Copies of this chain bind each other. A is one copy, B any other.
């Protein structure tokens, strides 16, 4: 991936639990690291205008409304036409920006990207995709929650779209696709999984068979495909398991004087491991299948996660992921 191509990314100044301060810090870092990046910062004028005035390659786009995390996504998108999320997506739709990044409400971003930016022709359902930060190797999973109810043919497209993302953005050559299922044999699983297996075998050349829950974090497959219900539950299960285990480990380390000394000796390696399994590394979940690069960051994103999310959005643009998806799904 080269950064030599000039890219314009719209960024939601109001997205995330600690917006706007964390977003502004992340955008400043992103601009500094990528001299061919231009940011259109979207949000209340009194926030975005002073920032744009004091940063090179940054322009301000006023948006008077904000969609809160707990609002009903589709309703909020319909009602708040001047919200930072809807305005950001409109900039992409109108060509004023090539991509949009927000650490705000995932549901609202999904709704706005689908309604305002629009689906790529031939894509049945845009899918949310996530790079699971495993200590073994990054794993791309899709769908992680955009589509709670799926048909087998949707998953074929999820596989095609996530494979392009894995190859072009995450840098995994010839990604191997696994269908999340409850047994490794071809005939295993629910009726839905069995039907999907047959279709994947026929239509996805890099399909490598069924993946089980314990294949995900060991990175036995590069791409894991599943419906948005299972994917969302699994992603949150990994987060919860990881958090609980690190918490219990901390209790062990703080248990006695000796263990505290031991913990001190491990400090560097442990911070390293924690960073490797942190969602912040990849900065955002791309919504694949819409006509533009739209990525959603974690609500709890820190400045580094925002920076990585903005870079990932630019990377999706530079690598023509949208065009590649359009080609793949019409084949």
Contact = CB atoms under 8 A, between A and B. Distances in A.
Contact of A148 (B189, B235, B242, B265): B189
A217 B242 CA distance: 9
A261 B261 CA distance: 9
Contact of A269 (B136, B181, B252): B252
B234 A213 contact: yes
A4 interface: no
A270 B251 CA distance: 10
A228 B277 contact: no
Contacts of A253: 266, 269
Interface string A241-272: 11111111101110110110111111001101
A94 interface: no
A258 B148 CA distance: 48
Interface of A: 134-136, 145, 148-149, 180-182, 189-193, 212-218, 226-230, 232-249, 251-253, 255-256, 258-259, 261-266, 269-270, 272-273, 276-277
Nearest to A149: B190
A214 B247 CA distance: 14
A76 to B, nearest CB: 14
21 contacts: A135-B245, A135-B247, A136-B244, A145-B182, A148-B190, A149-B191, A149-B192, A180-B233, A182-B233, A189-B229, A229-B230, A230-B233, A237-B241, A241-B242, A245-B277, A249-B273, A252-B272, A259-B269, A262-B262, A262-B266, A265-B265
A258 B265 contact: yes
Given A134-B244, A217-B241, A244-B217, A265 B255 contact: no
Contacts of A266: 252-253, 259, 262-263, 266
A193 B227 CA distance: 14
Given A148-B182, A213-B232, A252-B270, 20 more contacts: A135-B245, A148-B190, A181-B233, A182-B236, A214-B243, A215-B240, A216-B241, A217-B240, A217-B245, A234-B234, A242-B245, A249-B249, A252-B269, A253-B266, A253-B269, A259-B266, A259-B269, A261-B262, A262-B266, A263-B265
A236 B262 CA distance: 31
A210 to B, nearest CB: 11
Contact of A244 (B135, B239, B246): B135
A53 B266 CA distance: 53
